[in-house]
Chain A
Amino acid sequence: MTLLKSYYQLCKPNVVYMMLICAFVGMLLAEESVRSFGYLFVALTGIALCSASAAAINQVIDRNTDASMTRTDQRPLPQGELSATHASLFAFVIGVIGALILYLYVNTLTMMLTIASLIGYAFIYTIYLKRATPQNIVIGGLAGAAPPLLGWASITNTIDPYALLLVLIIFVWTPPHFWALAIYRKDEYAKESIPMLPVTHGVIFTKLQIVLYTIILFIVSLLPYVVLMSGLIYLYSALILSSMFLYSSVKLYYSSDDEDAMKTFQFSIYYIFLIFLALLVDHFIILS
C-alpha cells in the first residue's frame, strides 16, 4: 500500500490534476455539444498517463537535487521508497501506454502534441533549461501550457487558434506563478546553484517582473472576449480575477515579508482554476 502511494506521489498528482482540468476545459470548449463522456475520459486518461510519465522522469533526473531541498525532499525517490530503476521503468511503461491510448482511440495529432510536451518538460526543461538560464521557467512554461491545446486537438484533430489562446493564458501566467514560489524558496535554489531569477537578479527585480507579467496577463486574459470566443460572464470574471492577481503582485512588490510571496503563489493557483471555470460557465450559458 505504501508502495502504491509512492508510485502515486511519483506522478505529481496535484500538477497532473490541474493539467487535466485545463485539458478538460479545452475539450468542452472545442465543440458546442459534448460528444460522449466516455471518449473524453479515454482522451484524458491518455493525457494523464503521459503527464504522469513526464513528472516521474523529471523526478528520476532530479533525484539528487530534490534530496537537498525541503520543498522536494519528501518525494519518493529522495526518501528511498523507490529505486531509480523502478521509477524509470514505471515512467516508461505509463508513457508508452498513454501514447498508445491517444494513438489508437483519439488521434495522431493529439499523440504527437502530447509527446512533444512530454519531451519539452521532462527532458528539455529538466536537463537543459533549468540549469542554463533564469528564463528557464518562461521557456519551459510552454510545455506546461499545452494541456488546453491537447484537449482541444483530441476533439477537433486540428490546432485551433482559440486553443492557442488558452495556451497563451497559461504561458503568461506561469512566470509570476513560479517566481512567487522561487522568491519564497530562493535560498534552496541558490544552494543547488539553480539559476532562478531571484537568485541571479535579486528579489526586487523578480518582484518587478511578477508585476509586469501580471499586467500582460491582465491584457491576455481579456482576449477571449475580444476575439468573440467568450461573452460578458467571462469578461467580468476575468476583470475581477486579474485585478485581484494584479493587486496581489503589487502588494508583494512593496512588501518585505516572504510570506506574501507564498500568498501570491497560492492565489495564482486559484486564479488559473477560476479563469478556466469562468470560460466553461460562460461557454455553456451562452449556448443555453
Chain B
Amino acid sequence: MKQITTLSFIGICMAFVVIALGAWTRLVDAGLGCPDWPGCYGFIVFPTNEAEIALAESRYPMFPYDINKAIPEVVHRYFAAALGLIAIFLVYFSFKNTKDRSIRAWSIFLLFFICCQGLFGYLTVSLKLLPIIVTTHLFGGFATLTLFYFLYLKSRNFEIFNQINIPNLKGIAGAAFVILLLQIFLGVWTSTNYASLACADFPTCQGSYLPEMDFKSGFNLNQEVGPNYLYGLLDNPARVAIHYSHRVTAILVTILFLILMSRLWFSNAAPLASTLGILLLTQITLGIINVVYVLPLYVAIAHNLVAACLLLALFTINYLAWKK
C-alpha cells in the first residue's frame, strides 16, 4: 500500500507539471508547434540544426518551423508520457502489493484514461486545435490529476480527515462541485477560443456592464472540422459572450463557496473552509490580473493551476461528505 501512496503522490505532482506545461503550450500558441504526432516534423525530439530544419520544412511546407513553438509541444508530450509510465507502475503495484479490488480497478481505469488523453493530444494536433477537442483534452488533464489524487486518498489514512464529519453538507458540496465544473468549462472555453482578452477592462467589459454579445455562436459546440483554429475564429461579440459568462459564473461560484465555507466553518471543518477561501481569493485575484495586465504568461498558467487546486479541494470536501 505504501508504494501506491508514494506513486500516486508522484503522479499528483507530475500531473500538475503536465497541466502547467499544457497551459504553457496553449498560452504561447504552440499547440501546432509540431504538425504531426507522435513525432515532431518526423523527428523523435525536435529539429535543431539547419539540415534537420530544412528537412522538416520540406516535409511540412504548409507549417513553417519555429523552434520556440516546437519546444513547449515536445516537452509537454514527453512529460505526459512519463505520467503514463507512473500509471503503469501503479497498476503493477496494485496487483502485486494489495488485495484492494477498488484500488486495482481505479488504477487500470487511470491507465486507460491517460491513453485516451494521449489520443486527444493527437486529435488536438490533427484537427488543428478544434476548440471542443482542446477543451476535452484539458478536462481530461484535470480528471487525470483527480484520479491520482483519489488513489492517494484511498491508499492513505488521513487522521485529520477522520475527525471531520460532514454528511449534512452533501447537497451544498455537490452543488458547489457542479458549478465549479461549469466554471472550469467556461474558463477552458475562454482559453481555447482565444477570448481571454475579449474584455480588456474590469469590472466592466468593453466599457459596459452589458456589452454586445452573441451567445449562439459563442457556445456553438459543433464547430466545423477543418480550418486552423490557432488564435481563434469567432467574431468579437461571440468571444465577449464567452468571457462575460466566465465572469458572471465566477460570481455564482463565489456565492456558493461562501455558503459552503460558512457551513464547513461551523461543522468543525475550519481547515477545509480556510483552504477553500484562500484558493478562491487567489483565483479571483489572478483572474483580475489576467484581464487588467493583458494576460501575463505566469499569471495565466497560475490561474490554470489554482483552478486544478480548487477542483481537488472541492473533490476532497465531497469525498468526505459522501463517504460512508
Contacts and interface: CB of A to CB of B under 8 A. Distances in A.
A138 interface: no
Contact of B265 (A88, A119, A124, A128): A88
Interface in A169-220: none
A61 interface: yes
Interface residues of A, number: 10
Contacts of B277: 123
A119 B277 CA distance: 10
A165 interface: no
A244 interface: no
Nearest to B275: A127
Contacts of A88: 265-266
B278 A119 contact: yes
Contacts of A127: 270-271, 274-275
A84 interface: yes
Contacts of A85: 266
A124 B270 CA distance: 12
Nearest to B262: A88
A60 interface: yes
B278 A124 contact: yes
A83 to B, nearest CB: 10
Interface in A49-108: 60-61, 84-85, 88
A123 B266 contact: no
A123 B265 contact: no
A61 B274 CA distance: 10
A143 to B, nearest CB: 13
Interface in A99-146: 119, 123-124, 127-128
B271 A84 contact: no
A60 B264 CA distance: 13
Interface in A238-257: none
Contacts of B278: 119, 123-124
Contacts of A119: 278, 281
Given A119-B278, A123-B277, A124-B278, A60 B266 contact: no
B43 to A, nearest CB: 46
Interface string B274-318: 110110010000000000000000000000000000000000000
B1 to A, nearest CB: 23
A127 B270 CA distance: 8
Contacts of B271: 127-128
Nearest to B277: A123
A123 B281 CA distance: 13
A7 to B, nearest CB: 19
A128 B270 CA distance: 11
A266 B270 CA distance: 33
A84 B277 CA distance: 19
Nearest to A124: B278
B132 to A, nearest CB: 39
B266 A84 contact: yes
Interface in B219-244: none
A283 B139 CA distance: 59
A114 to B, nearest CB: 14
A78 to B, nearest CB: 15
Nearest to B272: A127
B266 A61 contact: no
Nearest to A61: B270
Contacts of B275: 127
A253 B82 CA distance: 51
Nearest to B266: A85
B118 to A, nearest CB: 36
A84 B266 CA distance: 8
Nearest to A64: B268
Interface string A15-55: 00000000000000000000000000000000000000000
A60 B265 CA distance: 10
Contacts of A61: 270
Contacts of B266: 84-85, 88
Nearest to B163: A64
Given A119-B281, A127-B270, 15 more contacts: A60-B270, A61-B270, A84-B266, A85-B266, A88-B265, A88-B266, A119-B278, A123-B274, A123-B277, A123-B278, A124-B278, A127-B271, A127-B274, A127-B275, A128-B271
- Pairs A-B, 3 closest by C-beta atoms: A123-B274, A61-B270, A127-B271
16 contacts: A60-B270, A61-B270, A84-B266, A85-B266, A88-B265, A119-B278, A119-B281, A123-B274, A123-B277, A123-B278, A124-B278, A127-B270, A127-B271, A127-B274, A127-B275, A128-B271
Interface of A: 60-61, 84-85, 88, 119, 123-124, 127-128
